[in-house]
């Protein structure tokens, strides 16, 4: 089996230099790194990650914990984290919590056993009691993505969720809609609360009263959003437009509208929070509030690696990214006559 000595000989460098290039444990030029990596590939050398961690006391494993890896929002995060980790000499592992805080704690205990160097967590809850539970389990540098947790002093990378739904709702109000439904997220989460706040703020700014019966609970799940939207749109006083608080719920809402025999945007306008990579395949392509998830994921992993390498304590700072309206074909204007007839 090839050894580090064989790698050094093939690359024409000292053993210490070959080790530094492989482990990123000391400054090495890009030229030397390229030679050593070529040697590794050529002779089939496989570094023993666990042994390296034990010898150096420095793990090269990053844990990423998300609610649901099958959701494109989180699969994009995983891909960005993986790519940046590989370039930095780290390996990433991804776990899904299913929005279950007991499962989240189980995963965190496993991560401790695997001696991870750091964690990126999209938390399952945001309240102080949950923060206390997480604090007991986390003993490595950590960045919270998408949502902060009360009582935790880790750095946070998140979207301006209030602005996201305020822009979405204001867009529909600007098109003349007055009965705007909301497919809301999981109760108790700060993200859900903020997105509902944005929806309410847009109504208040326009002087439009809010009918709470138009707010349904989708729990960030496609099946739940489907059922709730179907029931909402079966009412005689149904809304003329919908704001969906996530991409998964947008899909559920669109399927429900189709089952109800309602056309988008002729019968119902729709704006969703978060985009789809396959938006062009949908009919009609949906108007959305774009979440800069690539940028947020990249910032999260770079913050984490910086904290790991510098050994600095977390500063508890928030980095808030701004949403953007992407207009497509799922919204239409409601004219004055329609509003006076009670349809708007």
- Here the contacts of 132-141 (C-beta below 8 Å, separation 24 or greater) are 133/101, 133/105, 134/104, 134/105, 134/108, 137/105, 137/108, 137/109, 137/112, 138/108, 139/112, 140/111, 140/112, 140/116, 141/117, 141/304, 141/307, 141/308, 141/314
Question: How many Å from the N-terminal Cα to the C-terminal Cα in the chain?
Answer: 74
Give the pLDDT score at 49: 52
Are 31 and 60 within one domain? no
Taking only the tens place, the pLDDT of each residue in 26-63 is 778 889 988 998 998 888 887 655 445 544 456 799 99
List Cβ neighbours of 214 (8 Å cut-off, separation of 6 or more): 179, 180, 181, 182, 232, 239
Are 277 and 313 within one domain? no
Q: Do 39 and 55 touch, CB atoms closer than 8 A?
A: no
Are 250 and 312 within one domain? no
Are 88 and 192 within one domain? no
User: Taking 60 as the threshold, does the pLDDT of residue 220 lie above it?
Assistant: yes
What CATH number corresponds to the domain at position 96? 3.40.50.2300
CA 59/CA 122 separation, integer angstroms: 22
Q: What is the dihedral of CA 183, 206, 333, 216, to 10 degrees?
A: 10
State which residues form the domain around 215: 161-291+326-340
Give the pLDDT score at 67: 97
Strands 287-290 and 324-326: antiparallel
Are 261 and 312 within one domain? no
Give the pLDDT score at 232: 98
Average pLDDT on 250-256 reads: 98
Are 109 and 248 within one domain? no
Q: Report the domain count for the chain.
A: 3
Averaged pLDDT of the chain:
92
Q: What is the DSSP letter of 245?
A: S
User: Taking 90 as the threshold, does the pLDDT of residue 24 lie above it?
Assistant: no
Average pLDDT on 249-276 reads: 97
Beta bridge partners of 216: 183
Taking only the tens place, the pLDDT of each residue in 67-97 is 999 999 999 999 999 999 999 999 999 999 9
Give the pLDDT score at 342: 47
User: Taking 80 as the threshold, does the pLDDT of residue 158 lie above it?
Assistant: yes
Are 165 and 154 within one domain? no
Give the pLDDT score at 180: 98
User: Taking 50 as the threshold, does the pLDDT of residue 341 lie above it?
Assistant: no
Are 104 and 212 within one domain? no
User: Taking 60 as the threshold, does the pLDDT of residue 340 lie above it?
Assistant: no
Are 84 and 154 within one domain? yes
User: Taking 90 as the threshold, does the pLDDT of residue 322 lie above it?
Assistant: yes
Give the pLDDT score at 245: 98
């Amino acid at each position: 089996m090839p050894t580090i000595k064989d790698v050094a000989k093939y690359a024409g460098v000292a053993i210490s230099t070959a080790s530094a290039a492989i482990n990123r444990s000391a400054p090495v030029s890009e030229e030397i790194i390229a030679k050593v990596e070529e040697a590794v590939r050529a002779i089939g050398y496989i570094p023993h990650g666990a042994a390296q961690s034990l010898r150096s006391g420095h793990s090269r494993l990053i844990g990423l914990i998300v609610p649901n890896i099958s959701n494109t929002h989180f699969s994009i995060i995983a891909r960005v984290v993986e790519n940046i980790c590989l370039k930095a000499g780290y390996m990433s592992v991804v776990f899904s919590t299913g929005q279950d805080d007991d499962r989240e704690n189980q995963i965190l205990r496993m991560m401790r056993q695997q001696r991870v160097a750091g964690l990126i967590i999209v938390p399952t809850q945001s309240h102080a009691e949950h923060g206390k539970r997480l604090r007991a389990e986390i003993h490595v540098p950590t960045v919270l993505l998408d949502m902060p947790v009360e009582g935790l002093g880790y750095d946070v990378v998140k979207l301006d969720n209030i602005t996201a739904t305020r822009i979405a709702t204001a867009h529909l109000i600007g098109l003349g809609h007055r009965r705007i439904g909301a497919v809301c997220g999981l109760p108790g989460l700060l993200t859900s609360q903020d997105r509902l706040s944005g929806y309410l703020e847009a109504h208040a700014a326009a002087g439009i009263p809010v009918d709470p019966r138009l707010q349904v609970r989708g729990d960030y799940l496609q099946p739940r959003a489907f059922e709730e939207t179907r029931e909402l749109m079966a009412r005689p006083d149904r809304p003329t437009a919908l704001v969906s608080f996530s991409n998964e719920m947008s899909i559920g809402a669109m399927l429900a509208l189709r089952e109800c025999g309602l056309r988008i945007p002729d019968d119902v306008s729709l704006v969703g929070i978060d985009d789809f990579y396959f938006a062009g395949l949908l009919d009609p392509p949906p108007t959305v509030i774009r979440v800069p998830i690539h940028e947020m994921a990249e910032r999260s992993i770079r913050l984490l690696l910086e904290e790991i390498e510098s050994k600095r304590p977390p500063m508890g700072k928030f980095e808030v990214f701004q949403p953007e309206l992407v207009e497509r074909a799922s919204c239409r204007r409601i004219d004055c006559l329609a509003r006076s007839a009670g349809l708007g």
